[in-house]
Amino acid sequence: MKLGVFAVLFGERSFEEALDYIAESGLDTVEIGCGPYPGKAHCDPSLLLSDPSKLNAFKDAVTSRGLEISALSCHGNPLHPNPEVAKQAHADFENAVHLAEALEVQNVITFSGCPGESEFSKNPVWVTCPWPPEYAEVLHWQWKDKVIPYWTKQNQFLTSHGVKVAIEAHPGFVVYNTETALRLRQECGDSIGVNFDPSHLFWQQMDPIASIKEIAKAGALYHFHAKDTAFDTQNMAQNGVLDTKPYADELHRSWIFRTVGYGHGEETWRQIISTLRMVGYDGAISIEHEDSLMSVEEGFQKAVAFLKHVLIRQKAGAMWWA
């Protein structure tokens, strides 16, 4: 496995400055954002695809520093009921796939999207329970009329370009857990897999190790984000884990995103990394920083140190057992 980072952390730096810092930190891979979320600070696919010299310079900036691109990320909602939002998200996704093909990058990361509750909706509607019965009816309509047709077509598009999509399971979208991730793949095609982010599973009270095994068994484990979640047990005891308070209101939330090691300790992360190795995953461990209690610099460096330690110990253990 190779240690990397989601380079949007360093969006205020130039691309070259960010790559220098990443390489100097001893990392192997870089995941690059190309819109709509979290933006196109370092990479605008339409510009690179329209100018071969810029494309070659972009590629050389990465490879000349001994790095490789683990994925292109374009988190958006191509199923949004607002047609303009959906159109832009879809265009960004298509451009990311074309750029991935040009750069010989295997994975494009995005969300599954979430439709509204009908053709007349203005905003997405995420269904979380089967009763009253209209919720189950909405969920059935979303998958039958929106999700499956869209992603079946995208699977064909991806296959024709030799690229895979790594769907990031996230509450608020139709794919948010193991079951829905595998359903999307089973219904729509095997160019669709998973960008595995334990932080989104932790706060749903899921076990990432069990999920890794199930997703890998289906051949769907394409990419991995290293991010953690911490709980406030008092707030959680009173309010559960469904929490709509702003992320910045850390004191009153049931959970917040943390740098790896600040939500779950070394033993948990050793088990996660060991499980990745056991199921045959040999891709990137891509650091994603969304810890509101740490600066970008602090969170990044602590994540690098923590994961290097875990990876070295895990690799040494694997060699000993071999």
Confidence class for position 316, pLDDT limits 50, 70, 90: low
Q: What does the pLDDT look like over 257-301, one tens digit per residue? A: 999 999 999 999 999 999 999 999 999 999 999 999 999 999 999
Predicted confidence (pLDDT) per residue in 207-231, tens digit: 999 999 999 999 999 999 999 999 9
Under DSSP, the state recorded for 5 is: E
Of 31-40, 97-106, 143-152, 184-193, the least confident: 31-40
The pTM is what? 0.95
Q: What is the largest CA-CA distance in the chain?
A: 60
Domain boundaries, the chain: 2-321
- List Cβ neighbours of 90 (8 Å cut-off, separation of 6 or more): 78
Are the beta carbons of 35 and 92 closer than 8 angstroms? Answer: yes
Q: Which pLDDT value is given to residue 277? A: 97
pLDDT digit string, tens, across residues 75-120: 999 999 999 999 999 999 999 999 999 999 999 999 999 999 999 9
Cα distance between residue 180 and residue 223, in whole Å: 17
When pLDDT is cut at 50, 70 and 90, the band that residue 314 belongs to is low
Average pLDDT, the chain: 96
pLDDT exceeds 90 at position 41: no
Q: Which residues contact 310 (CB under 8 A, 6 or more apart)?
A: 266, 269, 270, 273
Exposed / middle / buried, residue 256 (Cβ in 10 Å: 0-12, 13-18, 19+) = buried
CA–CA separation, 196 vs 123, rounded Å? 26
What was the pLDDT predicted at 319?
A: 41
Residues forming a β-bridge with 165:
108, 192
Instruction: Specify the CATH class of 2-321 in words.
Output: alpha beta
Q: What percent of the chain has pLDDT over 70?
A: 97
Alpha helices in 64-147 (DSSP H): 83-103, 133-141
Q: How confident is the model at residue 141 (pLDDT cuts 50, 70, 90)?
A: very high
8 A C-beta contact, residue 154 and residue 93: yes
Output the DSSP codes for 265-301: -HHHHHHHHHHHHHTT--SEEEE----TTS-HHHHHH
Which pLDDT tens digit goes with each residue over 230-256?
999 999 999 999 999 999 999 999 999
User: What span, in angstroms and rounded, lies between the C-alpha atoms of 310 and 34?
Assistant: 30
